[in-house]
Structure 1
Amino acid sequence: MTTQGSQPELGLIEGRFGRIWDEAERSHVVKTLAEAGYGFYHYGPKADRALRREWRVSHDMARTEALARLSAECRAAGMRFGMAITPVGSTHPFDDEARADLTRRVAELDAIGIDDLAVLFDDLRGDMPELAERQADVVNFCAGLTGAARVYTCPTYYSDDPVLDLVFADRPADYLGKLGRLLDPAVQVYWTGEEVCSKEIGPAHLERVAGELGRKVCLWDNWPVNDGARMSRFLHLRAFTGRPAAIAGHISGHAINPAIQAHLGCIPAITLPMVYRQGETYAYGEAFGAAARRLLGDDFAQMLQQDIPALQDVGHERLGARADRLRARYEGIDHPASREILNWLDGKDLMTDDEVQTQ
C-alpha cells in the first residue's frame, strides 16, 4: 500500500472577488505558504481594476511600488511571483489597438518583476465567434512579448460545470480541444475540475481534460475561497478533502484560490502539502488540528476546531444567538485570526451580487 505521494508544484492564485488584502495580510500569506512548501504566488484579484475591468489603464505609482515590493518579497521567500491580467474586450476585435495596449501593459507588468504571466478569460461572456481561436491568439501574442519564464491562461469554460454555460452562454463545440491545439505548447492552462468549486478532483477526470487540451492542467482549486454573495456567509476552515495524492502525476501544478480572511485561510492552505506528503495516511481532521496549532497555538486551535460547524456550516444569517456566544469567545483573544472572526460576525466582508458583477 502506498502511504506517501509525490508533491506537484503548489501555488496560490489570488483570483477571487471581494476586498483586496492589505500588504500586512499578503505578507503573512506569503511567509506562511512559503514555509509550507508553496512555490508560486499569482496576483490577480478581481477588484484590482487595472488588471480586469480597466486593464488598459496602468497601475498608479503607489500600487506599482507595492506590487514591486510583493514581487521582491515572494522571490526572497523562494516563491515565483506572477501577475494575472484579464484583457476584457481584447479578443473581439483583436486589432492594432488591442495589440498596442497589450504590448504596453505586459511591458509594465514585466517591469514590476514577474516570473510568470497569466492571461485570464474566466467569468467573461462566451457567446462570441471563434472564441478559442481569438483567445489563443491573445495568449500567444502576450507570450511572445513577456520576459516571464512561464505563461498561464484560464479559459472562459474552466470547468465541466454547467453553471458556466448557464451564466456565460453555451460553450462552443470542441472549445477545449481547439484552444489546446492553438495555444503554444509551453502555455499552462488553469482548470478548476468537474465543478467551479469541486468537491472532488480525481485522476480519471484530469486525464480526460488533459487529452482534450493536449497538456496536463494546472489546478485552480477553489478552496478555501469564500467570495460572492453566497459563500462569503461562511468561513471556509476545514482541511483539504477530495484531492487524493494520486492526482500529483496528472497535473502540472496545484494552485489554491484563497479565502477573504487571510489568516484563517492559511489554516486549510497548509494542509494541502500534507495531502501529498502523507498520501493514504492523510486524515483531514488531524491535518486541521496540526495546521491550526501551528498558526494559532493550542488553546485557540482547540476552540476553533470546536466551532467549525457554526462558522463553516450554519451561515452568518442563521447563527442567531450563537453569534453573541461566538463573539464572547473570541473577543478575549489577541490574534489577527480572532479579529477576522469578529469582523465576519459583525457583517464585514459579506459580499453582494452587485460587487461581483462590477469587479
Structure 2
Amino acid sequence: MPISKTNQLPSTRRRAVQFGLSALMATGLLGLSPLAGNSQTPEAVAPPPPVIVPTPQSTTSLGAPVVLGSQVSLVVSPDTDPAAQALAQKILQARGVQVTINSPAAPGNGSKLRLGSGSRADITPAVGNSVPGKAEGYALLVTDTDVVIGGSDGAGQYYGVQTLKQLLAGEGAQTAVAKLAITDSPSMPIRGAIEGFYGAPWSQQDRLDQLAFYGDVKMNTYIYAPKDDPYHRSQWRDPYPAAKLAELKALVDASTANHVRFTFALSPGESVCFSSQADRNAAIAKMQAMYDVGVRAFSIPLDDISYTKWNCSADQTAYGAPGSGNAGKAQVDFLNYLNSSFIKTKSGIFPLQMVPTEYSDVRPTAYKQQFKTLQPDIVIMWTGTDVVPPKISNSDAAAAAAVWGRKVFLWDNYPVNDFGQTTGRLLMGAYAKREAGLSTSLQGIVSNPMNQASASKPAVIGVAGFAWNDGAYDAASTWRWALAYLAQGSANQGNPALAAALTTFADLNYAAPTFGNTFWLPQAPALKQLSDAFNAAPQTASLAAIKDYADSMVTGAPLIRNQLADRIFVQDASAWLDAEPLWGRALQKAAAAVEAARAGEQNSATALVQQSQAAVDQARAVKITDKKNTWSEKATPAPKLGDGVLDTLISTLNNIVTKTSNFALNSPEVKVSGVEPGTSFTGPKAVDGDSSTRWASNYADNAWIQVKLTQSARLDSVQINWESACASAYKVQTSPDGVNWTDYPVDKPVCGVQTVAVSASQPIGFIKIQGIKRATSWGYSIFEIAAYGKAA
C-alpha cells in the first residue's frame, strides 16, 4: 500500500543546521565550565542549547557547557540497559574519550556518566522525581560534576543516551556537553516505519542501516511487510528457506540492539480461506517460526484485496455471499482466533496489529460495523482519509476512532513512491500537515518509506519528531536538522557545506503527490521563492540568489557523491545526482545570459542561451535504470528535479534574452473538451502562470484544451508541463483563426515538461493540445501551457 508545552527555545531560535556545539567551539564563542578534575575557566553567559530532535518534552538550560575531558567514568549497575551502555561507550570513544566502567559503589575519579534506572540510589538524588512514570521516559541532567541519565525502563535509558549524543561537542580533552536538565518521554507509544511498498524490497544492508537509524531518532517499531516478498504474501503458508530465516533473525537481533520492535507482518488475504482450520494453523505455524527467532510483535495486513469473492467455498457456507459485511465478519473471526490461540498464549509479546481492507476513510460501512466484535486489544491501522492523504487533522483521527471503536494506529503513506504519480520522483520534503494533538487520538504512526531507503530519511525523521512530541514539532527546523544529520557522518561532526548541498538537493525533490493527481507538498519551495521574486521585476531584479542556487546545484552533487558517509543514499539517488549538475549548468547559463543582455552583449547572451538549452537537453537525457520501483521495472523514466519550477525559470530567463514572450499566459479564452468530474480543475488554470494549479480533463483519450493567444504571434515553440496523468500520444495544433489547424505530432511524449517546436512562418492566434491516448486511467492533467514567440 499504496499502489492501488516544552521549555525548549522557540522554533525561530532552533534553526541552526549544526549539531551539538561544534560550531560555537570552532569560533571560540563557547564558554566551558569544567566537570570535576578539569581546569577550564567558565564563562558567565550560556549559549542557547543545541537543537535536539525529537524535541524533548521539557528542556532547561542550566548555564555554560562543561568539559568532560579525555577520560570519563561510566557508572553502571545490573539495572543498566546493555544497549544504552554500549551506545554511551561508542559515542564517547568516537570523540577520543577514554571510558572506564565502574559501579555506584566505586564510581571512579574525574568526570562521570551515571546511567541506569531512575530509581537507582546514586541517580535519584540528582534527578529527583523528574523521571517520567511512563514507558520509554528518561531524565537527563548535566551538572558541574556529573552527567546523569535515569530511565523509566531500558528504552528510556537508551533514548537518554541518544539525546546525550546530540549534546556533545569537541574531541579528546576538549569534549564538552551542554549543561541542561531534560525530562522526556514519547507522546505516542508506537513510532516507526513499515516496509510496505510495492517494487523491489530493501536489501539486508538497507534494513540493517535503517534499524540503526531508527534507534538514532527514537523510533521503536519496524514492520516487515514488503509486498514483493512471496513468503509474506503470495506464498504465506510456506516456511521461509533456512538462509532467509537466518537473515530475518539477524534483523531481529539488530532491532533489539537499537530498541526497535521487529514486527513481522503476514499478509494472507489473497488466498486465505478464513474459516479453514488448516489455514488458521498455517498462519500460527508461520508466526511460531518467527517467534522462535525472537520476533515479539506481529501484524496481519488485509489490505489491497477484494471482498467481492471468496477464496474457498467453505467461506461461502460459513459467511454467506461475498460482500463488504460478510468479509468483515470473516476477517474478525480469523483475527480473533489468531489473537486468542497464539498472541495471548505467549509471554513478552506486543498486541496484535492488523490492516483492514477499508483502510483509508472514516465512512461507516457494513464492513466496519463487523469490527465491533474484534477483540479490544487488537490494534487497527489506518492510512488517513485517503490512501495518500493531503493532511490529517484531529477531527479526522477522532472520526476514525469512532468508526472503528478504538484509537487507531496511523500507517502514513509518506514518503512512499511506488504509485504512478510518483514516477521519477524522490520524496524528500518535510513531514507536514499533520495536526498537533494527534497523540490524543492515535496509538502511533509508522511511515511507509520509499524503495530508496536512505533517501527516505529526511521525511522519516519528521515522522519520528512528530510522533515523539507532536505538540512541539516544527516541520521546517526538523527538516533542516535531518539534512544536517545526513551530512554529519559516522563521526557525528558537522559538515555545513555538505548540509547545504543536501538542502538544495532536497528542495529540488520536495514535491509530494497524492493518490489523486494533486500535490500536498509543493515543488522546490526555496527556488520557487527566488523565481517569484525575479518574475516580479524581470528587467531589474538581481540574479545573485538564483546564481548561488545554480552554483549549489553544480557543486553540490559531486560533494554529496564524494563526502556523504551514507553510501546507500548515494546509490539511491544516483540518477538524480547525475541530472542535478546538468540542470544547474542550464540555470547558470540562463542567468548569465540575462546579465549579458542587460549589459548590451547580445552575441554573448545568445550563445549562453544556446548553452543553457543544450544543458537542458543533456539533463532530460538522464534516465533511471535501477529497476527499484514499479514505474522503473520495465521503463527508464527521467529523474524529476524541481519540475514546473526549475525548468520554467530557465525558460523564462532564456526567453527574456531571445525577446520571446509567452502568449498563452492569462489567455482571454480557454476552451476544453471537459473537466474531471467533481473537480474545479478548469481550463484557465493551465495558463495562469502558477505551476501548482492545473487543468484536468474528462476521462477520454480524445480530450483537448484550446487556448486563444493574448495577441497574434509568430511562435517558435509550445511548452506543456504535464502532471503525472499525461499522454502516451498527443499532438500540438496551431491556427490563425481557430478554424484551420496545422498539426505538430509529438514523436516521444514525456511526463513532465515537454517543448514542441512549431513553425514561426505565419501569425498564430490559437493553439490546441489534442489528446490521442492517455498514459493513465485518469484524464489528461496539465499544470501549464506556454506559447513562446514574438508578436506578429
TM-score (norm 1): 0.85
Name the residue aligned to 1:187.
Answer: 378
Q: Does 1:15 align with 2:247?
A: no
Deviation at 1:286, TM superposition (A): 2.2
Amino acid at match of 2:215: A
Question: Of 145, 150, 154, which residue of structure 1 is paired with 2:342?
Answer: 145
Q: 1:173 aligns with which of 357, 365, 368?
A: 365
Tell which deviates more after alignment, 109-118 or 226-235. Answer: 226-235
Equivalent position SS for 1:270: helix
Give SS of 1:239's match: coil
Provide the C-alpha distance between the structure 2 equivalents of 1:343 and 1:19, rounded to a whole number of angstroms.
17
- Do residues 87 (structure 1) and 279 (structure 2) align? no
Return the offset for 1:353.
9.1
Tell me the SS of whatever aligns to 1:254. strand
Counterpart code for 2:444? G
Match of 2:574 in 1: 342
Deviations 1:301-339 (A, max 9, x none): 211222334334499xxxxxx9x9686665444542233
- Counterpart mapping for 1:210-359 below 5 A: 210-275=401-466, 279=470, 282-297=473-488, 298-313=496-511, 330-335=560-565, 336=567, 337-343=569-575, 346-347=623-624, 348=626, 349-352=628-631
Deviation at 1:281, TM superposition (A): 5.5
Q: CA RMSD in A?
A: 2.8
Gaps of 5+ in 2: 11-54, 58-185, 310-321, 489-495, 514-549, 579-622, 635-792
3-state SS of 2:254 partner = helix
Report SS of the residue matched to 1:98. Answer: helix
Larger deviation, residues 261-270 vs 208-217: 261-270
Q: Which has the higher contact order (CA 8 A, sep 6+)?
A: 1
Higher strand share: 2
Aligned to 1:131: 327
> CA 1:299–1:8 in structure 2 vs 1: closer, same or farther (change >3 Å)?
same
Contact 1:19 1:260 in 2 (8 A): yes
Between the aligned partners of 1:50 and 1:231, the Cα distance in structure 2 is 27
Larger radius of gyration: 2
Aligned counterpart, 2:225: 44
Give per-residue Cα distances to partners, 1:58-78, cap 9 Å, x unaligned. 111111011011111111211
For 1:122 and 1:103, locate their aligned partners in 2 and report how far apart those are by CA, in whole Å.
19
Residue 155 (structure 1) aligned with residue 356 (structure 2): yes
Provide closer, same or farther for how the CA distance between residues 76 and 327 of structure 1 changes in structure 2, counting only shifts above 3 A: closer
Deviation at 1:92, TM superposition (A): 4.0
- Paired amino acid for 2:508: A
C-alpha distance in 2 between matches for 1:97 and 1:276: 39
Deviation of 1:220 after TM superposition, in Å, equals: 0.4
Counterpart-to-counterpart distance in 2, 1:95 and 1:274: 43
Q: Aligned AA for 1:352?
A: W
Kindly indicate whether residue 236 of structure 2 is the aligned counterpart of residue 55 of structure 1. yes
Which residue identity is paired with 1:304? L
Q: Which moved more, 1:324-333 or 1:139-148?
A: 324-333
- Supply the AA of the counterpart residue of 2:407: K
Give yes or no for contact 1:13–1:257 (8 Å, CA) kept in 2: yes
The separation in 1 between residues aligned to 2:427 and 2:250, in whole angstroms, is 29
CA–CA separation in structure 1 for the residues paired with 2:260 and 2:381: 19
The structural deviation recorded for 1:228 is 3.1
Distance in 2 between residues matched to 1:191 and 1:133, nearest whole Å: 18
Distance 2:467 2:192 in 1: 14
Question: Bigger CA drift: 286-295 or 81-90?
Answer: 81-90
Distance in 1 between the 2:458 and 2:375 partners?
Answer: 36
Alpha-carbon deviation of 1:44? 1.0
- Work out the CA distance in 1 between the residues paired with 2:632 and 2:361: 23
Q: Number of matched residues?
A: 338
Q: Per-residue deviation at 1:211?
A: 1.0
Residues of 2 paired with 1:276 and 1:105: CA distance?
31
TM-aligned CA deviation for residue 276 of structure 1: 5.1
- Contact (CA 8 Å) 2:379, 2:408: kept in 1 or not? yes
What SS does structure 2 have at the residue aligned with 1:255? strand
1: CA distance, partners of 2:469 / 2:364: 40
Match of 2:205 in 1: 24
| Structure 2 residue matching 1:243: 3-state secondary structure | coil
Can you list the C-alpha shifts for 1:119-163, whole angstroms capped at 9, x where unaligned?
0111111224211011111111222224333200000110129xx
CA distance in 2, matches of 1:231, 1:254: 22
Moved more, 57-66 or 333-342: 333-342
Q: Structure 1 84/329 Cα, relative in aligned 2: closer, same or farther at 3 Å? A: same
How far apart in 1 are the matches of 2:396 and 2:278? 39
Kindly indicate whether the alpha-carbon contact (under 8 Å) linking 1:52 and 1:87 is maintained by their aligned counterparts in 2.
yes
Q: Determine the C-alpha separation between the residues in 2 that align with 1:220 and 1:58.
A: 27
What amino acid is the match of 2:350?
A: A
Say if 2:194 and 2:224, in contact at 8 Å, map to a contact too.
Answer: yes
1:90 offset after TM fit, Å? 5.3
Identity, % of aligned pairs?
A: 23
1:22-46 per-position Cα deviation (integer Å, ceiling 9, x unaligned): 2221111111111211111111111
Judging by fraction of residues, say which structure has more helix: 1
Decide whether the 8 Å contact of 1:228 with 1:353 is kept in 2: no
Q: CA deviation at 1:278?
A: 6.1
Q: Which amino acid aligns with 1:86?
A: S
What TM-score does the superposition give when structure 2 sets the normalisation length?
0.40
Deviation at 1:256, TM superposition (A): 1.1
Q: 1:230: Cα distance to partner?
A: 3.3
Quote the offset at 1:200 in angstroms.
Answer: 1.0
Among 273, 276, 292, the residue aligned to 1:111: 292
